[in-house]
Amino acid sequence: MASVLVASNRGPVSYVLGDDGSLDARRGGGGLVSGLSAVSAQDRLWVCAALGEGDREAVRRGVGEPGVRMLDIDPEAYADAYNGIANSVLWFLHHHLYDIPREPVFDAEFRRRWESYRSYNRAFAEALAAEADGGAAVLVQDYHLALVPGQLRALRPDLRIAHFSHTPWASPEYLRMLPQDIREELLWGMLGADELGFHTWGWASSFIDCASVDGADGTARGVRRSGDPWHGVEHRGRGGTKRHTRVRAYPLGVDGEELRRLAYRPEVDEKLAALRTETGGRKTIVRVDRTELSKNILRGLHAYRELLTTHPEWRDGVVHLASAYPSRQDLESYRAYTAAVTELADEINADFGTAAWQPVLVSVEDDFPRSLAAYRMADVALVNPVRDGMNLVAKEIPVVSEAGCALVLSTGAGAHEELKDDALTVNPFDVTETAEALHRALSMPPAERADRTKRLAAAATALPPQRWFLNQLEALEGLEP
């Protein structure tokens, strides 16, 4: 039993099954891992899904980490919920990614997958209900588990429940594309929480705008009180009981000390030396992303090509280091996107490259030490998502960069709310504006660059993961039981 519980699809550890039957544990990092470490080990529990065969085998063998409970959900139901709904529907809605003439299509197949999504959420709600002490705090993460707060409240009304979205939240027009009963189920699921957290006030506000329901299961309406920190949604369920859900922004930042420690390890020094040789002392434009469709890597490459065309003085004077780790390769649209990134980079290299100079270096490996080395040597950081919950890369690069870097940042990144004063702002769809911003960034005097970087790094480290997590926990603990 635990008094602080976290639930997320991907857990802090995963297992790889070797050919000889051995299980190798891999521990992940990230904000939540470091946030939860602020709570004493005997009080906390992390509930997550078994993602692959290695994890399932670990559950069967009873292998595990203390404080982590992995749920072995039927693989087909899991694939429907994770790929079929979370990544193909909810992700697309929250990031406004649909190619509207073709998608979305909500048919019988969608309904079948939604059933799986519901039962996958239920498996989490049941596990949490079984493991939580009376009055425990439960912090549910992300769009994978949007129904958990409502399901859990029905099972255990004594718990204090929060949900945090690491993504944007859809605009009301986008969310209205969902069939009405499904949209309402999604909202009621979220409204089971006492508190809903988002990275920015913009995303929190979108949720409040969406949360207007007048249906068979009850009514809900968003409330904003001027001069009062309480904003949220008032609702009344079928039983008639009035409740409210507070909606707030908790902008996650980075742990500067820890990041610098990681960035100055010998293995990063080695990668840095190799990158310096590859770039031959030229200026660098650095970007690091998982190849998610929301990251806008293609328009970033188009902007770089336009820079080399309209400002030929940069030819042979700059190298674009683009790390694009493969992500969600089970989905055709992601595979096609990853291939398109590599093709466009190859085209730019073929059109502009010379025997001595390769304009773009793309790396598709998930190589964190190499990314840290690129952060250290970045003259310019390019972060131009179309829509992104926060984008921690925008915060990490200024913290690690050695000589200061100019940050070209799109309005689509949640981080833009906090970093806009010292970044060069671009509209993510405006390739010409992005090319001009790259030119300005490359031409920025070193003293101005260093000053801006100092202020960016201070803003980036303002709410490190432990504080971010504790603030949410304290808000829950301050609630009437």
Between 91 and 174, name the residue whose CB sits nearer to ligand G6P: 91
- Minimum separation from the CB atom of position 391 to ligand G6P (A): 8
Between 167 and 323, name the residue whose CB sits nearer to ligand G6P: 167
Query: For residues 71-130, which are near ligand G6P according to CB under 6 A?
Result: none
| Helix, strand, coil percent values for the chain (each to nearest 5) | 45, 20, 30
The H helix count followed by the E strand count for the chain is: 19, 18
Among 348, 352, 347, 404, residue whose Cα is nearest residue 381: 404
- Minimum separation from the CB atom of position 16 to ligand G6P (A): 16
10 binds ligand G6P, rule: CB under 6 A? yes
Please give the Cα distance from 62 to 73 (Å, whole number): 15
- Minimum separation from the CB atom of position 10 to ligand G6P (A): 4
The 10 Å Cβ neighbour count of residue 331 is 16
Between 114 and 203, name the residue whose CB sits nearer to ligand G6P: 203
Please give the Cα distance from 64 to 108 (Å, whole number): 38
Between 252 and 272, name the residue whose CB sits nearer to ligand G6P: 252
The pair of structure tokens assigned to 147 is: 């129904």
- Minimum separation from the CB atom of position 81 to ligand G6P (A): 12
- Minimum separation from the CB atom of position 162 to ligand G6P (A): 15
Query: For residues 242-261, which are near ligand G6P according to CB under 6 A?
Result: none
389 binds ligand G6P, rule: CB under 6 A? yes
DSSP 58-88: HHHHT---TTEEEE---HHHHHIIIIIIIII
First-to-last alpha carbon distance for the chain, in angstroms, is 18
Q: Which of 95, 160, 166, 452 binds ligand G6P (CB under 6 A)?
A: 166
Between 141 and 284, name the residue whose CB sits nearer to ligand G6P: 141
- Minimum separation from the CB atom of position 142 to ligand G6P (A): 5
Cβ-in-10-Å burial (0-12, 13-18, 19+) of 238 comes to exposed
55 binds ligand G6P, rule: CB under 6 A? no
Q: Which of 3, 151, 167, 245 binds ligand G6P (CB under 6 A)?
A: 167
- Minimum separation from the CB atom of position 461 to ligand G6P (A): 20
**CA count, 13 A, side-chain hemisphere, 195:** 24
Contacts of 244 (CB under 8 A, 6+ apart): 223, 232, 233, 234, 235
395 binds ligand G6P, rule: CB under 6 A? no
Q: Which of 55, 80, 142, 436 binds ligand G6P (CB under 6 A)?
A: 142
- Residue where the block lists tokens 């190859």: 346
Query: For residues 307-336, which are near ligand G6P according to CB under 6 A?
Result: 327-328
- Closest residue to ligand G6P, judged by C-beta, is 166
How many chain residues interact with ligand G6P (CB under 6 A)?
Answer: 8
- Minimum separation from the CB atom of position 86 to ligand G6P (A): 8
The pair of structure tokens assigned to 393 is: 């890369």
CB 169 within 8 A of CB 414: no
Between 69 and 166, name the residue whose CB sits nearer to ligand G6P: 166
CB 259 within 8 A of CB 461: no
- Minimum separation from the CB atom of position 119 to ligand G6P (A): 19
- Residue where the block lists tokens 């709904």: 85
List of residues contacting ligand G6P (CB under 6 A): 9-10, 142, 166-167, 327-328, 389
